[in-house]
Every structure is written in C-alpha cells, then in structure tokens.
Chains A and B, each alone.
Chain A
Amino acid sequence: MNATTSHTGRTGHTPAPTPESEPEPARTPWEDLVTSALLGTDRRRPDVDVPPGTGVPAALLDAAAVETVRRRAGLRPAAAAALPERAAPDTRPPLPAAARRRLALLLADRSGPGGSRRGSAPDLTELLPQWLAVADEYGYAAPPELLPALFDAARGRTDLRPQALRFAGPRGLWLARLNPDWKFALRTAPGGSTLPAADDTERVRRLWQEGLFAERVALLAAVRAHSPAAARELLDGTWPKERAEDRLMFLDSLRAGLSDGDETFLERALSDRSRNVRATAAELLSALPHSALAARMAERAASCVALDPARTAVQVEAPHACDPAMERDGVVPNAPPGRGQRSWWFGQLVEATPLATWTARLGGRGAEAITALPVHDDWRPELHAAWCRAAVRQRDATWARALLGTPSAPEAGGPGAVSLAERAKLLAVLPPGERAEWVAGFIDAHGLSEAFQLLGVCALPWAGALGRAVVDALNIARDAGSYPWSFSGVMGLAERCLDPAETSRLESLTAIPDEPEDGAPGAVGYWAEAFQRLAGTLRLRAQMIAELDPAGVTPRRPA
C-alpha cells in the first residue's frame, strides 16, 4: 500500500522533456497493463508485483497510476508541422473601438431568436449591410478576430458577400483557405489579396495565369479600369482554355465600363460553344447602340413596327420565322410555354434595338409622344414591355421616364401595361432624386400596398419627400384601423432606409392613442410598438454611422 503514496513522490523526478522521440520497445509495461485491464485480471494476469494483502486488480491500478502520472509528467511537445505562409499586410486603418464593438454585436445578433412576433427592439441583422457599406466608404480594415463571424454571416447570405469580402481584405482571403465552410470567399472575393499594379505587365500576366478565380476576376477588373485594351488582351490569351462557367463570369464582368472597343471581342463570343456565353455576348452588344448587332436588330425590328396609314397609331407585324442569323444574334427560338412564337421573337427584337431607332421610324416623335401612341390589334402590352426592357438595358432615362408616366395617374396603381416589377427596373435607370420623388408621388396617390417593390430600388437613405410620404402613409394605415403586420414589409424597409433625421417626426407616433371604435382590437398598441421599433432602429443607425466616423463621436448625417 506504500506504493500509492510514493507515486506522487516518483513523479518528482520526471525526465526533462527533451523533445526528440525515441523508438519504443515492442510491448511496453503500459501496454501490458492496458491489455490486462481490458480483458480483466481474472483472464489475464498483468506482469506486476502484488504486495501481500493486496489483490491483483489493486496492484494493476497501482502500477497504472504510476505509469499514467509518469507519462503525463514526461509529456513532450510534438514536432511542428510546416508553418503557414503569412497573410499579406492590410494597410487600411483599424476601426474605431466603438465601431468594432458595434460590429461584434451586429454579427452576434445574426443567430438571434427568429421569434414569431417582433417586439419593440430593433432587428440588428438587417443593419449589417448598411454598416458594411459605410465602413467600406471609409476604407477600414476588418478586425481579424471578427472575420470568422463575418464569414459565417456571409455564408448564409449571398447578398452580403461582395461587401463582406471586400471588408475582410487580404487577411480574410488568407483565413478562408483554411476552412472549407468559407470556400465561397475564394470564388467571390473582389480582390482580397493585393493586386499587382495594372501596368506591371509581368506580374499581371503571372497572376492571370496562376491566380485563384477570385483573384483573376479582380485582376481583370483592375486592369480593365486602367486599360480596357490590355484587359481584353489578357482575356483573349486564355479564352479558349477557360471553363464555360468562368467564361460566362469573365464576360459578365465586362458589363462595367462597357464600350464600343469591346465590340470585336463580343462579336467573336457570339460563336462561343456555350449557349449562355453567346446569350450574354448578344445582350452586351445590344447595349452598345453603335454595334453591328444593334444595327442588325434595329433593321429587323423596324420592319415589324410602323405607323398606320393615318400616321396616328402604331401597327405591328411580328416576324414569321427565326432564321439562323437571328439565332446567332441571341434570339432564343423557342418560346416558353403559353406564349406565341411570333410575339416571343418580336419582343426579343425590340428589346435589343437601340431606342433612338424609333424616333426616326415613327415620324420624328420623341419618347413621350411615341409611348402615347395607340397600338393596333392589342400589341400594346407586348411592345411596351419590350421597350421597358430596352430602356433598362440601354439605361435610357428619357425612355424610362416616358414609360413610367406620372406616378399619380390612375393606371399607375393598377395592372397597367407596365408591371410593378418592370416599373421598379425602370426607376433604377432614373437619377436617385427623381426616383425618390416618383415613388413618393406614387405612395401619396396609391398608398403603401403596392409600393414595396418600388421602395426597394430607391437610394439610401430615403430622401426627405419619400421618407415623409412613407411615414404619412403608415400613419394613415394606422388611423384606418388595420394591423401593422399587414405592412411589415414596408416597416422593415423603413427601418433600414429611412433617414435617421426623421426620428423626431416619429416620436409623436410612438405614443399609444385611444382605441378607435371601428379599429381592429389591440391594433393601436401594436402600432405604437412598431413605431417605437422604427424610431429605435433609426436612432441606432445614426449612432452606428457616427461611430464609424474617424473624426469622433459627433453624429454625422449619412451621405
């Protein structure tokens, strides 16, 4: 029994932990003990001394205790694996302390309770995109310790990825290689690593040949911003060897800064092996009004549309066939189910035709006069829808304005020729101020029920008139006695988009007025709560934006 107490004594002279590992004998005393313990001492007697008065199991445990402490006390470090490469330095300034804390909170809230009813507390998750946008504006470096949470957030939300990855910077790209969960970062990173200078031809060429896909996309964009011709040369060099998926992405990246110089390259891509690549090339070409493709399309479309003999209305004669030349120019021959072949072809022709074509074709009229013309034989919806798509593709504000019409017009609120989704796209073509004014006018005339999609395309924060229109409409909805969750979509948008300066106007709405007699029971309480949350979120946003200001704590009006 003496053995037990001496164990602790024996651990005293542990071998100095020299880290070289010695080869072990075939069967150590410890392995002998483990085998006997596993099988039981009745079946296999271990090779231990059994002092008188002790059983074999106790003797085994004595010996095992000595061995265990000996093994632990003699612990040695392992041989180190190959050290990792260091992350490229991030030269951006660090976040102010308050902003760093705020980001940690925004990221922590992500997994918050998805409870059925929202209380009066703000929903922090929705503020993350805005926080990232402002942080990016100032060009801060991400705090490394928050990168894992940031990646986890971006992993679940693709819309966050570009911003999150730009913010994550070179350290983020370095980190993402270690965790398979964050593989997306290697594909979507907008130039996480430091790119070579666009005129450093040798390094550019090497990165283009050897870089990750994400690095190459970023490189292409950087070189293209510097010299579009050099970028096209890079693309041309490796084009046939790229995977179809990558060709599509590279082609898509030409959208930024598209110019007539790209035409030759795009024309060649019209004969690509991949159908998606061909379609994208055609789409890009049609956005270049002076391209040969646009001219070919204009010729085809013009032969289908003409003024009637009285020259006061439009008549349409849709194409009778889709020939191979049309197909090569991106016209999809097979109509989706439920659509006539001819009107399907017609729509595609008009969509790809430069809008300037129509003034010449339709009696020298401007966009507004043309869209006001009657159209024979029910072709109006088809024709106008195609013009809408063309205005969006060619980013033609004059046509967009004409097709949108006045926001207060009665048909603007109803299912007119132009759907809400198309209107939202047309609005995006207008300058931000005009866009906000149009939507404000729409809400004043038609209320909020149809406005959700339109609000989504307005610039942040909502300009004064628009913000006021939304708050007034919410107030009217409350007075009408409906429940706030009928407007939860708009409420959610308002929390993210209203100018924090509107907070003071909301204060009066957060009080709980008397229940109106004809209102829904309990609605006023819920409305007060909803307005409280709205006001709370706006205040939080103002504070959040102030925290990011490197000049200090003075709240600034967001740009």
Chain B
Amino acid sequence: MLGPNVADMTQQGVRWAADQVLALAPDAASRKAGSKLGAAGPWSETGYSTTEGAVWGLCKGSGSTPYRTVVDTTGPAYQCGCPSRKFPCKHALGLLLLWAGPDGADGTVPESEPPEWAERWLAGRRERAKQPEAPSSVQRKGSDPEAVRRRAERRAERATAGTTELEQRLTDLLRGGLAGAEQAGYGLWEETARRMVDAQVPGLAARVQELGAVPASGPGWPVRLLEECALLHLLDQAWLHRERLPEPLAATVRTRLGLPTTADGPPIRDRWLVLAQHDAVDPKLTTRRIWLYGAESDRTALLLSFGAAGRAPELALPVGLALDAELSAYPGGRQLRAALGERFAEPEPTPLRPAGLSAAEATAAYGTALRDDPWLDTWPVTLRDVIPVQAASGAGPGTSTSTSGWQLADADGRFALPLSAAAVARPGLWKLAAISGGAPVTVFGECGHGGFTPLTAWPDQPGAEPIPLS
C-alpha cells in the first residue's frame, strides 16, 4: 500500500476535493446516498487514468451483478448501469468521493488503464466531442439574417401588444383601487400572467405572478403593491418608448421583459473567486445562482445555471475556490449576469477576499446601481466587520418592508442593515450568528429595499475559509 504522504504529493493536483464532488449532487438525498457509498466496501476493480481523465469502478448493489460506473472528469459526465434517474446517480458520486477521499489516495483507486467496458463509453464520448461544431455551423448557415430580423420584429410586436394590454389592466386596477385587488385574490393576476406568457414576455409574466401574493403578505401590503405596479408600469412605458432610451438601458429593458439576449460582452479573464452558490428550487426548474468576484477586474458577476426537474444544474463551483477563466457579460446597464467562457485551470483554494463595505456604503451602492437599472431589487455587496444582532423590535427607518428583528451592525455599533424576511426564515441565519459569536465577520450577500440577505460569511480569523449560509 502506498503511504498517504507519497500519494498526496504525486496526486494532489489531479484528485478533486470531496466538497467539489458533493457540489455535483442533484439534491440533498443524493448527496447523502453518495457519501454513504464513498467508502471502499461496495467497490471493486476501481481505477483512474490521468491521461483519459476518467474514474471507474464496479459497485455492488442489491442485485447479483454489480453496477458499472464510469465518470469522465473533464466534463464531468457520468455513466452508470443503475436504473436511477438522478444525474449524477449516487454510484457516480460515491465513486468520485472514494477517489477524492483518503481511501482513494491510499491506493483503493489506483492509476491504471480503463477496462474494456469503460473505454468503450469514453471512446464514444471522444468521438462525439470531435463534432460539436457541426450542428451549430449548420444552424449558422441556415440563419438567414433577413429571417432573423423578421423573427425579432414579430417578437417585438407581440411584446408591444403584451405591454399595452398590461398597461390597460394596470390603469383599470388603479381606477378601481387596490383594495379591490385584495378581494380578487390570485385569480386576477394568474390570468394576466397567462396573457403575458402568450405575448412571449416571460419577465413580465413572472412579475405579474408575484403581484398575486402581495395582498396576503401582511401589513403594509398596499405600499408594496403600489411600488410593484408602478415599476411594472415603468417597464411597460420604457419598452413602448425604447427608441428614446440610451442603448444600455434599452438592453436592460429587453432583459427585464424576458426577451432573448446573448452574452456578447468582451471576454474578461480573471481569477474569479466563487462568492456564493444557491439554488432556487421550483417543481419544474432549479435555478442556480453563482456569484463570482474578479480580483483584478474588481467586478462581481452572476452566473445562472438551470436544471430541469430532479436534475442538478450542470454548473457547480464550490464556494471559496478561485477559477482562472473568461467571463462575457450579458448586455444591459449594470448588468451582473455573465456567461462562463473558457476555463484555464481547475478551481483552486485562494486566500482572496473581496474588499468589504460598511452598512452605509452598501445602501449607497444599491442606490447608485438603481441609476442604471431602476428595477433592481438587490445589489451584491460584501460587508466588512459586521456583527449579527438580534434587535428588540422590527422595522428600521429606510426599509419599505417590515423586517424581522435581526440586523447586521457595523462593528462600531452605529449603523446596521436589517436582514430580509427571507433571510430570517432560513437556517443560514443561525449559522451566521454561530460563526460570529458576537465578533465581527465579513459577509457577502444581496442588499436591497427588502433588507439584506446574507449568502456567505468569513469568520474573523486569518485564513478562515468562507462558509456558505445555505
């Protein structure tokens, strides 16, 4: 058996960290099931190949024949003989954990040649990887600029019809009074949202849908409903008069409406620190938001990744690692969203932390961002030296919604940001309090009119790793 130290020295760069593996799991149940399989017991004939970028093994399940599991670590892509519809399945996760863990380095997963069954699948993947250009180039040839223009025009006409209809409904609502909306309940908004889906403006549909929940959201709802209606009206009017807007703002309006855009900004290469990764799970769709911070460009960027029901979004970047890669921004003023381009190296640990702001600087940053995108609900900021405080009672001045009694206070004890109601309902709040222990911490999160939502915290120790507050 190879000594662990020797193995560490020769293979550390190649093997993944267990956290990296666990981040691939489609859901919590898979994470648990996978970690249970991450010990040598059920596995046999395991191995990995640096040249192929593959790990494989046989896993004994409850049946008589073991499952053949193989992972292409360059993708990553997975293949397993089990009937699970989770992706990656627990066997693939278990195999990767075994490979990443101390047992793997001990020689349980030795470097070797892939067996015939694994090689077949890997060869098939290499074959397919050679022709990715083919379909897209066909599409490019087939995309006659004239046809593209006509399609865009038709889409714009529909959007205009949609926004005009929404304007009509909003003015009707204001004429009759918001009090009526309380009695009408969800139905009114559901129907309007469906009309917006028909008009192919999903951004408007989503906003309208959310309006339905406002009358039931507790005291102060008329204020919140008027705010949202007014911003919706502002968006309608911006679209209807888009020819008078400066281009970045017009792009923002198109994005807010939900019209298709592409990340055509110039690629920015940087060492991107992964600030936070969190999933919003919907029965139909999982939306993963990954916040990145570029050390040299001093910018914060947002990557979105989607997974159909039951599948994890493909992109997974563990918090605290830094990624040498290129990002391209989507169009729009104050546009945070970007697309991940070329990655030059595997993510690796970094002592890097974003520069932090005080509470007053954070609200100012949000206010400044509204200049370019008045529909922003929040703005990503890192707070420096703040202390979670359980305040005796609710709403602070300056917040439009009632808050919960928790705030993040500057260490000098003068000013504080109230936490959002969503943040207070999450278990992450207690993690944050525990990490602080009454001492200042650095916190990354989303700062907005509804309060501050903490996403990641750095304990107040030199070299402390960031802790996701999920």
Q: Using a CB–CB distance below 8 Å, which chain A residues touch chain B?
A: 1, 4-5, 7-8, 11-12, 14, 16-17, 19, 21, 33-34, 37-43, 55-58, 60-62, 64-65, 67-69, 71-87, 98, 101, 105, 108-109, 112-113, 119-122, 124, 144-145, 147-149, 171, 174-175, 178-179, 510, 512, 525, 529, 532, 535-536, 539-540, 543, 546-547, 552-554
Residues of B within 8 A of A525 (CB): 62
B177 touches A21 (CB 8 A): no
| A86: contacting residue among B392, B438, B467, CB under 8 A | B438
25 CB-based A-B contacts, threshold 8 Å: A4-B233, A7-B234, A14-B371, A40-B174, A40-B180, A41-B177, A55-B175, A61-B170, A69-B374, A77-B362, A78-B416, A79-B414, A80-B414, A84-B389, A84-B438, A98-B102, A105-B35, A148-B430, A174-B437, A175-B434, A179-B430, A529-B62, A540-B36, A547-B102, A553-B106
* B36 close to A122 (CB less than 8 A): yes
Which of B19, B31, B103, B410 contacts A108, CB < 8 Å? B31
Decide if A73 touches B231 in the complex (CB within 8 Å). Answer: no
Contact of A17 with B177 in the complex, beta carbons under 8 Å = no
B258 at the interface (CB under 8 A from A): no
10 smallest CB-CB distances across A and B, nearest first, come from A78-B396, A40-B177, A81-B391, A64-B230, A4-B237, A57-B174, A87-B437, A80-B409, A148-B430, A86-B438
Summed over the interface, the residue pairs from A and B with CB atoms below 8 Å come to a total of 272
Kindly state the separation between the CA atoms of A553 and B1 in the bound complex, as whole angstroms: 13
Highest count of chain A CB atoms <10 Å: which of B245, B433, B437: B437
The interface of chain B, by Cβ under 8 A from chain A, is: 4, 18-19, 28-29, 31-33, 35-37, 39-42, 60-62, 64, 101-103, 106, 167, 170-180, 222-223, 225-227, 229-231, 233-234, 237-238, 241, 244-245, 249, 359-360, 362-364, 366-368, 370-371, 374, 387, 389-392, 396-400, 407, 409-410, 413-418, 427, 430-431, 433-435, 437-439, 448-449, 459, 467
B414 contact set on A, CB distance < 8 A: 19, 79-80
The reply to whether A39 and B226 contact each other, CB–CB distance below 8 Å, is no
Known A-B contacts A19-B415, A61-B174; the reply to A121 vs B363 at CB < 8 A is no
A11 touches B371 (CB 8 A): yes
Does B435 lie within 8 Å of A79, measured CB to CB? Answer: no
In the bound assembly, the distance between CA atoms of A525 and B417 in angstroms comes to 59
A112 touching B398 by the CB < 8 A rule? Answer: no
* Bound CA–CA A39/B245 (angstroms): 33
- Of the candidates B4, B62, B409, the one whose C-beta lies within 8 Å of that of A552 is B4
Known: A4-B237, A121-B33. 12 other contacts (CB 8 A): A19-B414, A37-B225, A38-B179, A69-B370, A75-B363, A75-B398, A81-B390, A81-B409, A83-B438, A145-B467, A171-B434, A532-B60
Q: Which residues on B sit within 8 Å (CB–CB) of A147?
A: 430, 434
A553 B4 Cβ-Cβ under 8 A: yes
- The answer to whether B434 and A144 touch across the interface, beta carbons within 8 angstroms, is yes
A543 and B105 alpha carbons, distance in the complex (Å): 14
Tell me the minimal C-beta distance from A283 to chain B in angstroms: 40
* Given the contacts A76-B363, A83-B413, A41 and B449 also touching, CB distance less than 8 Å: no
Contacts of B174 in A (CB 8 A): 37, 40-41, 57, 60-61
Report yes or no: A17 in contact with B367, Cβ–Cβ below 8 A: yes
A65 and B360 in contact (CB under 8 A), knowing A78-B417, A148-B430?
A: no
In the complex, the answer to whether B387 meets A17 with C-beta atoms within 8 Å is no
Among B234, B366, B409, chain A packs the most CB atoms within 10 A around the CB of B234
Distance of B304 from chain A, by nearest CB (Å) = 23
A78 and B398: CB pair below 8 A? Answer: yes
Rounded to whole angstroms, the CA-CA distance of A116 and B186 in the bound complex is 39
Q: Among the interface residues A12, A73, A86, A87, which one has the most CB atoms of the partner chain B within 10 A?
A: A73
Q: How far is the CB of B57 from chain A (nearest CB, A)?
A: 15
Contact present for B359 and A77 (CB under 8 Å):
yes
Alpha-carbon distance A121/B60, docked complex (angstroms): 11
| Best-surrounded residue of B102, B448, B467 (most CB of chain A within 10 A) | B102
Q: Is the CB of B367 within 8 A of A74?
A: yes
- Residues of A within 8 Å of B32, CB to CB, are 105, 108-109, 112, 124
Residue of B nearest to A151 (CB): B430
Query: What separation, in Å, do the CA atoms of A60 and B237 have in the docked complex?
Result: 14
* Structural contact, B434 and A148, CB atoms closer than 8 A: yes
How far apart sit A488 and B362, CA to CA, in the bound complex (Å)? 57
Looking at the complex, which one of A14, A39, A69 makes contact with B368 (CB distance below 8 Å)?
A14
Please tell me if the beta carbons of B230 and A68 are within 8 angstroms of each other in the complex. yes
Nearest residue (CB) in A for B392 is A81
Asked if A72 and B62 sit within 8 Å, CB to CB, the answer is no
- Asked whether, in the complex, the Cβ of B430 is within 8 Å of the Cβ of A76, the reply is no
Set B234, B363, B438: member contacting A85, Cβ < 8 A: B438
The reply to whether B430 and A71 contact each other, CB–CB distance below 8 Å, is no
Which residue among B103, B176, B223, B467 has the maximum number of chain A CB atoms within 10 Å of its CB?
Answer: B223
Taken together as a complex, chains A and B put the C-alpha atoms of A358 and B171 apart, in Å, by 98
Please give, as numbers and ranges, the residues of chain A lying within 8 Å of B389 by CB-CB distance.
80-84
Question: In the complex the two chains form, is A4's CB within 8 Å of B438's CB?
Answer: no
How far is the CB of A383 from the nearest CB of chain B, in Å? 52
On whether A12 and B390 interact (CB within 8 A), knowing A4-B238, A79-B415, A86-B437, the answer reads no
Cβ contact within 8 Å between A76 and B397: yes
Question: Would B364 and A39 count as touching, CB distance under 8 A?
Answer: no
Contact A64 B364 (CB under 8 A): no
Contacts of A540 in B (CB 8 A): 36, 39
- Given the complex of chains A and B, what is the CA–CA distance between A21 and B396 in angstroms? 10
Chain B residue numbers with a CB within 8 Å of A175 are: 430, 433-434, 437
Partner of B28, one of A64, A77, A108: A108
Find out whether the CB atom of A61 lies under 8 angstroms from the CB atom of B438.
Answer: no
Q: Tell me the smallest distance from the CB of A45 to a CB of chain B, in Å.
A: 11
